Amino acid sequence: MRWNYTPVRAESVEALARGLGTTPIVAELLLRNGVDGEAAIRFLQPTLASLADPFLVANLERAADRLLLALQRKEKVTVLGDYDVDGVCSTTILVCLLRRLGLEPTYVVPRRAEEGYGLTCTSIERALEAGVPDLFIALDCGTNSAEEVAFLRGKGAEVIIVDHHRSTEPPASDAILINPHVFPAAGDDAWRYLCTVGLVFKLAHGLLKKLRQEQHPVALSIVLKDYLDLVAMGTIADLVPLHGENRIFARHGLRVLAETRRPGLISLMQVSGLKAEQGLVPTDISFRLGPRINASGRLADAALSVDLLLSRDPGFCEQASRQLDGLNRERQDIERQITECAERHVEERFATAGGLVLFDEAWHPGVVGIVAGRISRKYNRPAIVLGNEGELAKGSGRGINGFNLVEILGACADCLDGWGGHPMAVGVSLRKERLEEFRTRFEAAIRARHDGSGVEPGVELSGWLEGTAVNEVLMGELDRLHPFGMGNPEPVFGVRGLRLRNRPDVFKEQHFRFTAEDAAGRRISGVAWKMADRLPPVGTPLELAVQLNWNYYNGRRTLQMELLDWRATGT
């Protein structure tokens, strides 16, 4: 594995550290992420008070006024939200808020297997079974659904769409559309990259702002901050960059999530094995809560996840959480089998490909997105993984840094029946007979954006540290940069001046724990995942590529290195 490190100019690091009153390590990490000057101050101080006026978002005030009218008229409202974490949390926030304000909105979540993604005719037909609403609200979908919007308007329903997916065709015009990618504006960087749950939060803010001006008693009693638990979940799970308002939502939302009073979330955290009193980090959403919420949409009916998050019944919440946990285990089994098969496809047929398009008739289209993420990370290449859906190959793609999947698929659009998403995650469907054509076009689009150098995975170092600098003071400094995620990656440090005194302890035949000593003889514990076939030697000076975190055990908190790679000093 290659170790890549591009130094940042020492003068710039020193100047920023001096201006912020922070350490050179923090300054270097900020500069590496393109954050300097006033932006660095805002980054280190992501306050809720610095959220922009919601009415600066294009069309948001129109949508708030339309909701205000619905409240005044006691109208019938239907909400349709996507089946992923972003859509589920968006639906939960809006339905919960409208209920508190006196409406009884119905909600529908598309059934992936029967209805497909988003605002489709079949999902609309099911939504209208209870009657045509006065107002139909689509969340996390609908930007490209001009025909479906026309159908709804023909039925007599007005339409609001809140979405963050790029438009792949002329967007729906006969609706109030909130989507900063469709309506970009100068100075909107702070909120342009919000996912749908962030935009729904701003819509809620705008609506409450208008109601409070009228001294609406319920609006005055609502604490908007209480919804940030759901905003953080959708924001982190949807892989949007954690800059600007996304960073504010994630940082404060994780704290609200750790203290949430929602019975559904409390129950889901319990079955996920999370201990909220230790604090929560983005990976708790990415690998614990998010997959369980997604599992219902992948293998069953995602309305179960919305039901859970809205419920106040502890008994139902416990039952639903266990059901989601069971679905997640089933999903993991299916995913494991597909991943192993996909890896064989790569190694036997596509070892030198710059981009990967993988398909198998036996693969479940509901879990291939997770597999695409694993494949893209393992082989360091953009990956599209497709499953069988009748005459179509349908699935998801995941990107890597430096490649915009929306641009790449745009170059292949005439091969596809449908596609959409954002730069790091997309959905794709096409007729099976066009697979080879798509694979060729995808590969060409990848190579057009790459210099043709090898595809060997590498580790990108954020900085170099002496072993003696890995301590609790450093962890306190790094805490100012949390939460880590897309656009603010968790730093990977190269650490010098360490050696092992004892043989690593292998567990579960795949992983190992170890204890390293620095030059002063101080011991630092560490863990390595799936590296038991490559144990570092005892007594040899080593360089370690690590991430740093806290390990909680028996009520104690200790610093722990997570080993990504190692090499003997001087190699």
The mean of the pLDDT values for the chain is: 94
pLDDT at 411: 93
pLDDT at 555: 82
Identify the H or E element spanning 459: strand 458-460
When pLDDT is averaged across residues 438-443 and rounded to a whole number, the result is: 96
Q: Are 458 and 4 in contact (CB under 8 A)?
A: yes
307-338 residue pLDDT tens:
999 999 999 999 999 999 999 999 999 999 99
445-465 residue pLDDT tens:
998 886 544 455 678 999 999
Q: Are 465 and 218 in contact (CB under 8 A)?
A: no
Tokens of 125: 């037909």
Lowest mean pLDDT, pick from 53-62, 247-256, 303-312, 367-376: 367-376
Tokens of 330: 């089933």
CB burial readout 478-487, b (16+ within 10 A) else e: beebbbbbbb
Tell which residue, 351, 379, 563, has the closest CA to residue 457.
379
Within 13 Å and on the Cβ side, how many CA atoms surround 483? 31
pLDDT at 244: 95
Which DSSP symbol is given to 288?
I
Give backbone dihedrals phi and psi of 529, rounded to 5 degrees, phi first. Answer: -100, 130
* % of the chain beyond a pLDDT of 70: 99
255-279 residue pLDDT tens:
999 999 999 999 999 999 999 988 8
pLDDT at 100 over 50: yes
DSSP-assigned beta bridge partners for residue 428 = 395, 419
Relative to beta strand 392-398, strand 383-389 is antiparallel
Q: Read off the pTM.
A: 0.89
pLDDT at 70 over 60: yes
Tokens of 472: 């609790």
Dmax (CA) for the chain in angstroms is 77
When pLDDT is averaged across residues 220-226 and rounded to a whole number, the result is: 98
195-218 residue pLDDT tens:
999 999 999 999 999 999 999 999
463-480 residue pLDDT tens:
999 999 999 999 999 999
Dihedral Cα 56, 58, 61, 67, nearest 10 deg: -140
Q: Where is pLDDT greater, at 478 or 424?
A: 478
pLDDT at 454: 46
When pLDDT is averaged across residues 179-187 and rounded to a whole number, the result is: 94
Query: How many angstroms separate the CA atoms of 92 and 318, rounded?
Result: 18
* % of the chain beyond a pLDDT of 90: 85
Q: Give the list of residues 6+ apart from residue 533 with CB closer than 8 angstroms, or none.
A: none
Q: Are 422 and 84 in contact (CB under 8 A)?
A: no
